[in-house]
């Protein structure tokens, strides 16, 4: 069937004629209406909702600055005439010789940290307001996928400067995969491309960082936004605004995203850019958290740094990895048996169910005590991220937003944030008995927060949820 063309008056302004010509061939006006001018968002969104648009802004900053860096960077681990790795020398060339190269590099390195800051804040907003609950489970899953790909991009990009911390950090993390039974050594060899971290590893990581992973990330971001605009945005009250509409079919508690929130977000963008610029120009290293000082030394496979620490946004998970010692496995085994006893005596399982739970506890205990603690450290480190994907099904609270949950929930969420900061802090410090103990308690709290959520999320007295969003004009 031939396409239906929309005709306008030949005397119409040139701009309208051009737009009509485009609309007859590409749904530009339709996309504008569906995703901006006629996309209705709740009228009570607060500052927590800045971080979604800020994440998109930082993504654009990272892509543009990355393109300019790639123009001058050489992924080559061989030594030049001065005995310096070519990759490291190319970064120094960008910093010292390329016009405004230092600024581009600092924008990209600072942007990596700010990307994780705004995404962590964005996810925490979803956590406290229940943005992962029905019908937004798929939005949350796309978001968790974005976080995982971001981590992969950050990890592969961290090797590219080919400094001491880059080299040895990559060597340590890749060697962790070798702890996986049976397939571990081959998997580590596949990732490295060689028996040691070298030129093959650098080129593989460069290809993943520049081409493959960003394409996956962009696809997930588009899917995330499409899914969001399909079911609509959540709000601090956790109320579905689509349930109450006026005679024209528009939500009575909603307002068009454009111009209201597009202009509203400009305030958040302005504040963000001021903070971002201040860090780029006055503290690009972030006190050693954004750029490791050890990474200013060329990579040397023969000299191991005194302390190998990850970048801050990986530190909490690295702390969980180091927390898993042989003695800690006994604690985890005891936790498995406590869960098994609960299933046997409290959960109301039948005879077959009790037998399965008991058999699972026995097998789990044998695996935990029979396999190396390093393997379980890798498992727990990965589980700490993957468990976020199951949040829509772990939360059994009758209300979505923390506003209408028991007051003690706010203290619990506050403790969760403090615990994450403590894990991050000890993750960047050299290992010690004190840091190990704190990391172990922090790991148990982190995992317990999610694994016990089906029970604690239902406890307490819940406040009545209003039928309409609470909103005070300002």
Same domain for 82 and 161, yes or no, is yes
Measure the CA angle with vertex 389, ends 384 and 392; round to 5°.
Answer: 125
Same domain for 194 and 219, yes or no, is yes
Same domain for 215 and 318, yes or no, is no
User: Token pair of 281, please?
Assistant: 């120009």
35 labeled binding residue: no
State the average pLDDT over residues 206-222: 97
Q: What is the tally of structural domains in the chain? A: 2
Q: Give the alpha-carbon dihedral of 450, 454, 457, 463, to 10 degrees.
A: 150
DSSP letter at 212 equals I
Domain of 187, in residue numbers: 32-292
User: What is the spatial distance between Cα 378 and Cα 372, in angstroms, rounded to a whole number?
Assistant: 10
The pLDDT value recorded for residue 211 is 95
User: What is the spatial distance between Cα 352 and Cα 343, in angstroms, rounded to a whole number?
Assistant: 12
pLDDT surpassing 50 at residue 85: yes
In a domain, 426, yes or no: yes
The pLDDT value recorded for residue 204 is 95
Same domain for 288 and 322, yes or no, is no
In a domain, 9, yes or no: no
Of residues 474 and 388, which shows the higher confidence score? 388
User: Token pair of 157, please?
Assistant: 């990009």
**Of 81-95, 107-121, 177-191, the least confident:** 177-191
Of residues 358 and 178, which shows the higher confidence score? 178
Same domain for 92 and 232, yes or no, is yes
474 labeled binding residue: no
In a domain, 62, yes or no: yes
In the chain, the percentage of residues whose pLDDT exceeds 70 is 95
Same domain for 72 and 164, yes or no, is yes
User: Token pair of 138, please?
Assistant: 């798929």
Residue 324's CATH number: 1.20.810.10
| Contact assessment for residue 68 and residue 42, using Cβ atoms and an 8 Å cutoff | no
Same domain for 279 and 323, yes or no, is no
209 labeled binding residue: yes
What would the pLDDT profile of 369-415 be if each residue is shown by its tens digit? 767 788 888 999 999 999 999 999 999 999 999 999 999 999 999 99
Same domain for 272 and 385, yes or no, is no
The pLDDT value recorded for residue 331 is 82
User: What is the spatial distance between Cα 45 and Cα 263, in angstroms, rounded to a whole number?
Assistant: 13
342 labeled binding residue: no
Same domain for 287 and 313, yes or no, is no
In a domain, 21, yes or no: no
In a domain, 474, yes or no: no
Domain boundary residue, one of 243, 261, 292: 292
What would the pLDDT profile of 282-339 be if each residue is shown by its tens digit? 999 998 889 988 899 999 999 988 888 889 999 999 999 999 988 888 887 887 777 7
State the average pLDDT over residues 147-168: 95
The pLDDT value recorded for residue 1 is 47
In a domain, 3, yes or no: no
State the average pLDDT over residues 265-273: 95
Q: CA distances (Å), 35 to each of 314, 380, 438, in order?
A: 34, 39, 46
Same domain for 258 and 331, yes or no, is no
**Of 149-153, 256-260, 281-285, 422-426, the least confident:** 256-260
In a domain, 389, yes or no: yes
Mean pLDDT, rounded, of the chain: 90
Same domain for 52 and 170, yes or no, is yes
224 labeled binding residue: yes
Task: Judge if pTM exceeds 0.85.
Answer: yes
| Contact assessment for residue 239 and residue 232, using Cβ atoms and an 8 Å cutoff | no
User: What is the spatial distance between Cα 68 and Cα 73, in angstroms, rounded to a whole number?
Assistant: 9
| Of the candidates 133, 122, 65, the residue with the CA atom closest to the CA atom of residue 94 | 65
pLDDT surpassing 60 at residue 158: yes
In a domain, 297, yes or no: no
pLDDT surpassing 90 at residue 225: yes
Strand 40-42 vs strand 254-256: parallel, antiparallel, or unpaired? antiparallel
Same domain for 283 and 350, yes or no, is no
State the average pLDDT over residues 163-168: 93
| Contact assessment for residue 318 and residue 385, using Cβ atoms and an 8 Å cutoff | no
């Amino acid at each position: 069937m031939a396409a239906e063309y929309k005709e306008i008056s030949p005397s119409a302004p040139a701009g309208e004629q051009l737009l009509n010509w485009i609309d007859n061939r590409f749904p530009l006006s339709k996309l504008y209406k569906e995703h901006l001018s006629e996309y209705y968002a709740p009228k009570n969104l607060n500052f927590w909702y800045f971080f979604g648009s800020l994440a998109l802004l930082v993504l654009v900053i990272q892509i543009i600055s990355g393109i300019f860096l790639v123009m001058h960077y050489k992924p080559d681990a061989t030594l030049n005439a001065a005995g310096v790795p070519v990759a490291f020398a190319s970064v120094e060339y960008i910093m010292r010789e390329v016009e405004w190269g230092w600024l581009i590099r600092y924008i990209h390195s600072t942007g990596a940290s700010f990307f994780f800051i705004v995404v962590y804040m964005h996810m925490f907003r979803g956590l406290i307001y229940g943005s992962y609950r029905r019908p937004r489970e798929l939005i949350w899953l796309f978001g968790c996928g974005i976080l995982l790909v971001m981590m992969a991009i950050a990890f592969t990009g961290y090797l590219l400067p080919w400094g001491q911390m880059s080299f040895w950090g990559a060597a340590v993390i890749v060697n962790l995969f070798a702890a996986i039974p049976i397939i571990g050594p081959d998997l580590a060899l596949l990732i490295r491309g060689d028996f040691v971290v070298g030129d093959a590893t650098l080129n593989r990581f460069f290809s993943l960082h520049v081409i493959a992973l960003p394409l996956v990330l962009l696809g997930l971001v588009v899917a995330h936004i499409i899914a969001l605009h399909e079911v609509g945005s959540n709000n601090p009250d956790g109320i579905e605004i689509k349930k109450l509409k006026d005679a024209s079919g528009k939500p009575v508690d909603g307002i068009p995203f454009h111009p209201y929130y597009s202009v509203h977000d400009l305030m958040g963008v302005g504040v963000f850019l001021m903070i971002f610029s201040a860090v780029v120009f006055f503290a690009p290293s972030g006190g050693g958290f954004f750029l490791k000082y050890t990474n200013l030394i060329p990579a040397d496979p023969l000299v191991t740094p005194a302390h190998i620490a990850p970048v801050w946004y990986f530190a909490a998970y690295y702390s969980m990895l180091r927390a898993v010692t042989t003695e800690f496995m006994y604690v985890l085994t005891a936790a498995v048996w406590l869960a098994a006893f609960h299933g046997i005596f409290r959960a109301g399982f039948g005879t077959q169910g009790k037998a399965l739970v008991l058999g699972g506890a026995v097998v789990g205990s044998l695996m935990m005590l029979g396999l190396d603690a390093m393997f379980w450290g890798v498992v727990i480190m990965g589980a700490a991220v993957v468990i976020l994907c199951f949040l829509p099904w772990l939360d059994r609270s009758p209300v979505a937003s923390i506003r209408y949950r028991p007051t003690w929930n706010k203290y619990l969420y506050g403790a969760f944030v403090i615990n994450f900061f403590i894990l991050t802090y000890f993750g960047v410090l050299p290992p010690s008995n004190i840091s190990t103990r704190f990391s172990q308690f922090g790991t148990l709290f982190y995992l317990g927060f999610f694994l016990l959520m089906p029970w604690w999320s239902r406890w307490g007295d819940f406040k009545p949820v209003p039928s309409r969003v609470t909103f005070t004009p300002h």
